[in-house]
Structure 1
Amino acid sequence: MSYAIIGSGAIGGALAKQFARSKINAVITNRRGPASLKQQAFAPTVSPAETVDALDAEVIILAVPFEATEEIAKARADWSGKIVVDATNAIEFPAFKPLDLGGRPSSEVVATRFKGAKVVKAFNTLPAAVLADQPRRSEGHRTIFVSGDHAEANEQVASLVTSLGFSPITLGRLGEGGLLQQFGGALAVHSLIKQR
């Protein structure tokens, strides 16, 4: 599998650190271009790329503000064959409350933007500092929740979660588990340890 992290802020940087720690090759991109990532890249495992090139990856992790997903989605008319991992949180600023999406899970909104993609919600519930920290604890492994409407895509993302050193907990479909893990949901901002 080929991986791309779209966004180099707190969450994107935390994910890049985990990819590098686990020696899993990936590219990282942002809207400012590869030159702005020279200091942040975790060479040789995670390398900076142009966004257009990063979107060729099989698994694309969205580590950008929720509103930015719409513009990224416009880069292609058809996202078939791609797994798009939604690590965003739909937050209304400055009130810092969930965006009003008419009761729809935020990842279902993302899925309508990325036509043809298999969208999986993951990596959005841990604060960036915790996500960047060592996932293996003396008492077990930190957990990452995974939700999506395509069982095979959920399994592939859960496998990535395991490869990064976390323990995946698959919660089902976006309309079920996705609601639990989105910002304002019951599982948001919970750092759980799965004992082994």
Structure 2
Amino acid sequence: MSYAIIGFGKIGQALARAFARNGIDVSVATTRDPASFASAAAAIGPTVIPRKLADAVKADVVFLAVRFESHPEVANALPNWKGKTIIDAMNTFADPVDELAGLPSSAFVAKAFPGARLVKGFNHLAAGVLAEDPHVSGGRRVVFLSSDDADAAETVAALAEQLGFAPVQLGKLGEGGALVQARGNSWGPLIFQDLFKKTP
């Protein structure tokens, strides 16, 4: 299984740190030339590999960690996303609800990635918290996942476990996904809730 993070701001770098801590290779890309962020990637660890966007999106599992308004540009990097799992780690703080055609933000994003299996996840924690080692207080930090594709949710749950987190499934995008959605002035009740699952 191959992995990529698209977006290398605070959230993208926090995710990259999780991969580096566990010695898992991950491609990182932005719409810029990879040379422009190569030193930042190297500072995180040798398993964080800067790539051009067109190369990074060839990964099996792709994190979206760009600004919400930039996701169509990422979607245009491939004509079809069939067989790929997309993890929507974005929030839509400033976007008016009516611009999303009444859909949950992740369901709206899914329409831009034809053929992909989309999972909402890793978006409810602030970047500084997400960057920390998730093994704390005798347990592991929780990440919430929601998807309309149960198999994709299981795939991402397994990755979350590899990265040291405790995945909690919230159900479908229109139901559980609303609990972790930040959109305009409407925030789900689980946004920024830093929870832990005790290790048995």
Residues 35-63 of structure 1: per-residue CA shift (max 9 Å, x gap): 01221113421110000000100000000
CA–CA separation in structure 1 for the residues paired with 2:106 and 2:65? 13
Aligned to 1:90: 92
Aligned to 2:52: 50
- Report 1:26-105 matches (<5 A): 26-41=26-41, 42-92=44-94, 99-100=96-97, 101-105=100-104
Alignment partner, residue 152 of structure 1: 151
Q: CA deviation at 1:91?
A: 1.6
Which of 169, 193, 198 is the matching residue for 1:195?
198
List alignment gaps of at least 5 residues for structure 1: 93-97
Counterparts of 2:106 and 2:10 in 1: how far apart (Å)? Answer: 20
Matched residue SS, 1:28: strand
Quote the Cα distance in structure 2 between the aligned partners of 1:159 and 1:99. Answer: 34
Partner of 1:164: 163
How far apart, in 1, do the equivalents of 2:33 and 2:86 lie?
21
Contact 2:53 2:77 survives alignment (8 Å): no
The CA deviation at 1:102 is 4.4
Aligned residues: 191
**Equivalent-residue separation in structure 1 for 2:31 and 2:77 (angstroms):** 13
Whole-angstrom CA distance in 1 between matches of 2:160 and 2:96:
27
Q: Structure 2: give runs of 5+ residues left out of the alignment.
A: none
Matched residues, percent identical? Answer: 49
CA displacement, residues 106-145 of structure 1 (integer Å, 9 cap, x when unaligned): 0000000101100000110000000001100023110000
Partner deviation per Cα, 1:82-121 (whole Å, 9 max, x = no partner): 00100000121xxxxx631343210000000101100000
**What is the identity, as a one-letter code, of the residue corresponding to 1:186?**
P
Tell whether 2:4 aligns with 1:8.
no
Q: Which runs of 4+ in 1 moved over 3 A?
A: none
The corresponding residue for 2:141 is: 142
TM-score, scaled to structure 2: 0.92
Partners of 1:131 and 1:166 lie apart in 2 by 10
Answering whether residue 189 of structure 2 is matched by residue 186 of structure 1, we say yes
**Structure 2 residue aligned with 1:95:** none
Matched letter for residue 195 of structure 2: L
**Aligned-partner Cα distance in 2 for 1:25–1:99:** 37
In structure 1, the residue corresponding to 2:40 is in which secondary structure?
Answer: coil
Q: Distance in 2 between matches of 1:159 and 1:40?
A: 27
Please give the alpha-carbon distance, in whole angstroms, between the structure 2 residues aligned to 1:194 and 1:31: 36
